Structure 1
Amino acid sequence: MNQDYITPYAWSIVEEGFEPERVESSESLFSLGNGAMGQRANFEEDYTGQTFQGSYIAGIYYPDKTRVGWWKNGYPEYFAKVLNAPNWIGIHIHINGDVFDLNTCKHVDNFKRELNMKEGWHKRTLEAEMQNGIIVKVEALRFLSLSQDELGAIQYKITPLNSSAHITYSPYVDAGIKNQDSNWDDKFWEITDVQIKDQKAFVCSHTVKTEFHVCTFMQSSVLLDGKILNSKPEPHQKAHKAFMAYEKDVQKGQTFTIHKFAGYVTSLNHDKGSLVEAASSVLDVASKKGFDTLLKEQQQAWADIWHMSDIIIEGDTKAQQGIRFNIFQLNQTYLGKDARLNIGPKGFTGEKYGGSTYWDTEAYCLPFYMATKDQKVARNLLTYRYKHLQKAIENAEKLGFENGAALYPMVTMNGEECHNEWEITFEEIHRNGAIAFAIFNYVRYTGDYSYVPEMGMEVLLAIARFWKQRATFSKPKNKYVILGVTGPNEYENNVSNNFYTNYIAKWCLNYAVENLNILKKDYNEDYNRIVDKTNFNQDEIQAFKTVADEMYLPYSEEHDVYLQQDGFLDKELITVKDLDQTQRPINQHWSWDRILRSPYIKQADTLQGFYFFEDHFTNQELERHFDFYEPFTVHESSLSPCVHSIQAALLNRMQQAYQFYLRTSRLDLDDYNKEVKEGCHITSMAGTWMSIVEGFGAMRVKNDMLNFAPKIPDEWESYTFKVNFRDNIIAVKVTKDATHFTLEGQDELEIVVNEEPVVLKNGQNINA
């Protein structure tokens, strides 16, 4: 049974009623972020119940020593962890001398929290009776500023309802924190300075080993019934913490409010010796503007984001809420401002996966950012990988590869591999293919070929060298084979000739050759520079072509499908519908041995190849493969339903496509995999966007032109989305009867709709 406590609203995530057992799940779902930092939706006040405290800073990590009982050559020495950063949201609250804590209150009534996605804030309201008999009304509102991304703001209000009360607010910043997922309970932070000055508090600390310096700061003011009080707080300092106490006798019905401005400045953006001064400047700006002005700026910043990225669904509130939640979280996680940053699978919502970069960015996130931002944002994501190329070459060298071959890491913060499971680290090499495909996808969509001669060709060449060396010539097959791999389906380890891996290797080799020839012909200066820099030998082209042309692709004549890998048909082929549902999800009920021997597929694998290379196969071939593999797919990866939704839509199976869409869009809201308390699935949320735009809207780039073949689920009255295609904004509205296109940009743009050319003119609404 999926969770169902999130009330469906078009623009908000709403929880009503206080249930301690769902606090951790809600902390994930109601998380906030602004691209530079983020936090789980922990309570500001003390809470002694079960909670998962989490605040995170983009780009700040720790190399946690890998915890394994053995060591292998080439094994990464550490697993990079996004760090639980110093806590700045906290406010100790005492009412008539007793700690205000929802876990110890006699009862909590009218509890409601809202994540307002339209305006980018989180609000909590409640009434509670404390053990001392005082009944209070509480309203807490907070946001992470998009306009000043080092700053967060909190407005916390308490109104005594049944008698007067003596209320003390003690806002604090605290660096005495640790990660839940620490391998060895290492100390990640060293605290260097705690100071209070002019009602501002600063805690300076730095990470052990990586030496990232951070100043966590705050400044507060208090109000009674909306009027600012000039009371001076009592300062308190500890070794790891600074706080100030504001006390007030509050009459029944009066509202005592605290405004708290706080956040982080780091050595990523400031000189480490002047962090206190930088923090003080942020607070000066915030104090001058005030809470209400900052909130209005927040509303405007989100309005600007939604103007381009919103998808409007009419007639289906749960579907509408789902897609907006996904788009909202993607924009909270990454805005494309800083090429040093990337997109972690959990974003700022939890510690699982270490906040590191995976192949998800290239395979799933790039299309969303290409179409909803300008192409500079997508180019930043590709630049990130180019800057890590030397590390990728070093990663391959550790495994015995030569001559500039590159193996990009499965998990990374700085280009070094830091994943700590051998069957992933050494074997899930298909990630190299996703990085090459992202270059192809970027050029195809943006028309910006300049990335290839400037940076991309070096990446493609290094990846091609890897595949050439990784393939082995099999005399019995008279073909090149790739042995000992894990495909996208991680429920199969150490297999040989995974179709997806072999196919994308073959494609990478051919794509590298294609671009080498283009550069030699049309970009001779860049070509010669790359030849010199990489010691490229022209004979390598023929070697690449030979391996690509002779790549083995396992095939079943009986079923007329490519096999996921050698031996797949040796399994006991029992479909998912015949599984005991009490055993789902199998990764929480079965031993790993049993999973590996089963036919069950965690996510699209062979079908991932059909998604990337759709134009290489006919719809009849897709249908055969979809009908063969989907019945064995348990979709226990967040990256699975979106691919299947797109393919079901292409096959005109709209009810199935719609069900997959609901699963991907509400994966966290409905907690399909029963793990949302660990954090939200950020990277798969880009797949949700794709399931509408590429699935129902059937947007493709073919022959350098934008193509659409829209369909609409029966449950919807209409849906509307926008894409930025080569500096043209195309708004698409699909109804039951027609598709409406509007162009913002150049005077006109030719597109293809249902295989017929259509000329869009700026400002005109065209029905097709």
Structure 2
Amino acid sequence: MYMVPHFVYTFPKLVKPLLMYRYNTLEKAKQRAHQMGGVGALYAWSSISGEECETIYEASTAQYHLLSDIAYAIGKYWEATGDKEFLVNYGAEIIFETARFLADRGSFIPARGNKFCINSVCGPNEYSCGVNNNCYTNMMVQWHMQTAVAIYDYMSKSATEQFLSLTKRTLLKDEERQLWQRIADNMYIPFNEPMGIHEADDSFLYLDPVKMKKMPQHMDVRFIGIHPINLWRMQIIKQADVVLLMFVLGQKFTTDQKRANYAYYEPLTNHGSSLSTSIHSIIASEIGKFEEAYEYWRQSAYMDINNIKDNAEKGLHMACMGGTWMAIVNGFAGMRDYPNGLEFNPIVPDRWKAYRFKINYKGSLILVDINRNGTNYKLLSGKDVCFYSAGNKIELSLKCVENSTI
């Protein structure tokens, strides 16, 4: 969710080896699913060989959203590169096997109007373990199921040879495709109408309030003497959870919902993970909190330089670095790559005069140069490309430079 997006838009050729790691450890993931009494594949939270190395099982094994995060990375790579060979020979099997596990892990609950619920999970907020219907998990699984159905249908029509081989090898049946569609259509999404916010999970709004000024910032409070049973009672968030969801699946939220969710959850977050500040910067930029966005970007950028976590000597926070890049490109420049196409909504932070970067979009290399007078886009290589900037249609070819003024 942090490194792959960077490489997809900068060095897409490096992404395939990263994703092949998941394919090469798929058999280990299947074994893990079986050990957990499930079907399909359950990837390890921390691993090199595919074996689980994490010791806090309630905040690792229960983070089933990892499976949808992997599927999301495959989907972004496919969208950005059109690498059909990888999708039909490798990526699809990963997405199908992880969808199998997730479909088996949840149930249609009568008390929830027969909506599909996933219980006893841990979302990105690792301070809340064993919760029911973590919003991030449920909405990502919904996307996962929709994507599995779309790839199933695509392969059955456009890659029939690989489709027949895959379904025969994995014993995949059309009934499973129908189940995935039913899950996607009936996923339970926790939303509080009076407050106008998405509930982090079924219980978070009802936990004990916490005086955040007394809680350490940028430190994982699980390791400073707070007993887990006491922590699980607290209304405190380790890192972007619902806020992360509003970036990853931003097209699913209205602007008002983004503002309301951010206003509620941001003050309750102590950023115990290095991955948190960059995502808060991105959403703060989107909803117009530009000074707050810049401060969060600085915290992300200086994470290791200033040793904010007091552990830089143990190794650099690589995913945090990816997040810092995202805070510039997806935050300040407002880049979004949704199914309806690429778009930018650029701003220049008050303390900057200008900034520039390059992105690789579907094989076309684009230079984005943003300053106080406007934004210049130039196609450096590749095919003609069309996208939107601040609502204006931009069409680039190797013969011209388009300008969009903000």
Q: Note if 1:365 corresponds to 2:7.
A: no
Query: Which residue of structure 1 aligns with residue 109 of structure 2?
Result: 474
- What secondary structure does 1:476 align onto? helix
User: 2:216·2:270 contact (CA, 8 Å) conserved in 1?
Assistant: no
Picking from 160, 168, 173, the partner of 1:524 is: 160
Change (3 A) 1:382 1:487: same
User: 1:444·1:704 contact (CA, 8 Å) conserved in 2?
Assistant: no
1:672-751 counterparts in 2 under 5 A?
Answer: 672-703=308-339, 705-746=341-382, 748-751=384-387
Mapped partners of 1:678, 1:614: distance in 2 = 34
* Cα drift, residue 740 of structure 1: 1.4
Superposed CA deviations along residues 165-207 of structure 1, whole A, max 9, x for unmatched, are xxxxxxxxxxxxxxxxxxxxxxxxxxxxxxxxxxxxxxxxxxx
Query: Which residue of structure 1 aligns with residue 51 of structure 2?
Result: 416
* Cα drift, residue 759 of structure 1: 2.0
Comparing 417-426 with 458-467, greater Cα deviation is found at: 417-426
Picking from 5, 15, 33, the partner of 1:378 is: 15
User: 2:217·2:271 contact (CA, 8 Å) conserved in 1?
Assistant: no
The residue type paired with residue 623 of structure 1 is: R
Change (3 A) 1:707 1:501: same
Unpaired stretches in structure 2, ≥5 consecutive residues: none
User: 1:519·1:526 contact (CA, 8 Å) conserved in 2?
Assistant: yes
Change (3 A) 1:615 1:449: farther
Mapped partners of 1:575, 1:696: distance in 2 = 31
Query: Which residue of structure 2 aligns with residue 595 of structure 1?
Result: 231
Mapped partners of 1:763, 1:734: distance in 2 = 20
Comparing 738-747 with 382-391, greater Cα deviation is found at: 738-747
User: 1:744·1:763 contact (CA, 8 Å) conserved in 2?
Assistant: no
Query: Which residue of structure 2 aligns with residue 165 of structure 1?
Result: none
* Cα drift, residue 703 of structure 1: 4.8
Query: Which residue of structure 1 aligns with residue 86 of structure 2?
Result: 451
User: 1:583·1:590 contact (CA, 8 Å) conserved in 2?
Assistant: no
Superposed CA deviations along residues 520-551 of structure 1, whole A, max 9, x for unmatched, are 12211111111111101111112222222222
TM-score by length of structure 2 reads 0.93
* Cα drift, residue 378 of structure 1: 0.9
Change (3 A) 1:636 1:525: same
- What secondary structure does 1:716 align onto? coil
Mapped partners of 2:396, 2:147: distance in 1 = 33
Query: Which residue of structure 1 aligns with residue 289 of structure 2?
Result: 653
Mapped partners of 1:394, 1:584: distance in 2 = 36
Mapped partners of 2:231, 2:73: distance in 1 = 31
* Cα drift, residue 418 of structure 1: 2.2
Q: Tell me which protein shows more strand as a share of its residues.
A: 1
Query: Which residue of structure 1 aligns with residue 183 of structure 2?
Result: 547
Change (3 A) 1:417 1:555: same
Q: Note if 1:761 corresponds to 2:397.
A: yes
Q: Note if 1:395 corresponds to 2:32.
A: yes
- What secondary structure does 1:647 align onto? helix
User: 1:464·1:508 contact (CA, 8 Å) conserved in 2?
Assistant: yes
* Cα drift, residue 494 of structure 1: 1.2
Change (3 A) 1:656 1:463: same
Change (3 A) 1:739 1:421: same
Change (3 A) 1:589 1:392: closer
* Cα drift, residue 700 of structure 1: 2.0
* Cα drift, residue 603 of structure 1: 0.5
Superposed CA deviations along residues 476-495 of structure 1, whole A, max 9, x for unmatched, are 22322211111110111111
Superposed CA deviations along residues 359-414 of structure 1, whole A, max 9, x for unmatched, are xxxx11011112222x2211111111112111111110111113xx1111101112
Superposed CA deviations along residues 118-171 of structure 1, whole A, max 9, x for unmatched, are xxxxxxxxxxxxxxxxxxxxxxxxxxxxxxxxxxxxxxxxxxxxxxxxxxxxxx
Unpaired stretches in structure 1, ≥5 consecutive residues: 1-362
* Cα drift, residue 620 of structure 1: 1.4
Change (3 A) 1:549 1:705: closer
Query: Which residue of structure 2 aligns with residue 488 of structure 1?
Result: 124
Superposed CA deviations along residues 294-346 of structure 1, whole A, max 9, x for unmatched, are xxxxxxxxxxxxxxxxxxxxxxxxxxxxxxxxxxxxxxxxxxxxxxxxxxxxx
* Cα drift, residue 575 of structure 1: 5.8
Aligned-residue Cα RMSD (Å) equals 1.9
Mapped partners of 2:7, 2:377: distance in 1 = 21
**How many equivalent residue pairs?**
401
- What secondary structure does 1:367 align onto? helix
Query: Which residue of structure 2 aligns with residue 580 of structure 1?
Result: 214
Query: Which residue of structure 1 aligns with residue 268 of structure 2?
Result: 632
* Cα drift, residue 622 of structure 1: 1.0
Mapped partners of 1:727, 1:558: distance in 2 = 46
Picking from 244, 269, 274, the partner of 1:608 is: 244
Change (3 A) 1:545 1:583: closer
The residue type paired with residue 684 of structure 1 is: C
Which of the pair has more CA radius of gyration? Answer: 1
User: 1:497·1:566 contact (CA, 8 Å) conserved in 2?
Assistant: yes
Runs of 4+ aligned residues of structure 1 deviating over 4 Å after TM superposition are: 581-584
* Cα drift, residue 764 of structure 1: 4.1
The residue type paired with residue 36 of structure 2 is: L
Change (3 A) 1:584 1:532: closer
Query: Which residue of structure 2 aligns with residue 184 of structure 1?
Result: none
- What secondary structure does 1:750 align onto? strand
Mapped partners of 1:429, 1:700: distance in 2 = 25
User: 1:444·1:701 contact (CA, 8 Å) conserved in 2?
Assistant: no
Mapped partners of 1:704, 1:490: distance in 2 = 33
The residue type paired with residue 413 of structure 1 is: I
* Cα drift, residue 617 of structure 1: 1.4
Mapped partners of 1:515, 1:575: distance in 2 = 47
Picking from 278, 285, 303, the partner of 1:667 is: 303
Superposed CA deviations along residues 241-276 of structure 1, whole A, max 9, x for unmatched, are xxxxxxxxxxxxxxxxxxxxxxxxxxxxxxxxxxxx
* Cα drift, residue 586 of structure 1: 6.2
Q: Tell me which protein shows more helix as a share of its residues.
A: 2
User: 2:278·2:297 contact (CA, 8 Å) conserved in 1?
Assistant: yes
Identity of aligned residues (%): 31
- What secondary structure does 1:450 align onto? helix
User: 2:240·2:279 contact (CA, 8 Å) conserved in 1?
Assistant: yes
1:139-178 counterparts in 2 under 5 A?
Answer: none
Change (3 A) 1:452 1:602: same
The residue type paired with residue 548 of structure 1 is: A
Change (3 A) 1:673 1:521: same
User: 1:583·1:589 contact (CA, 8 Å) conserved in 2?
Assistant: no
1:22-421 counterparts in 2 under 5 A?
Answer: 363-373=1-11, 375-402=12-39, 405-421=40-56
TM-score by length of structure 1 reads 0.50
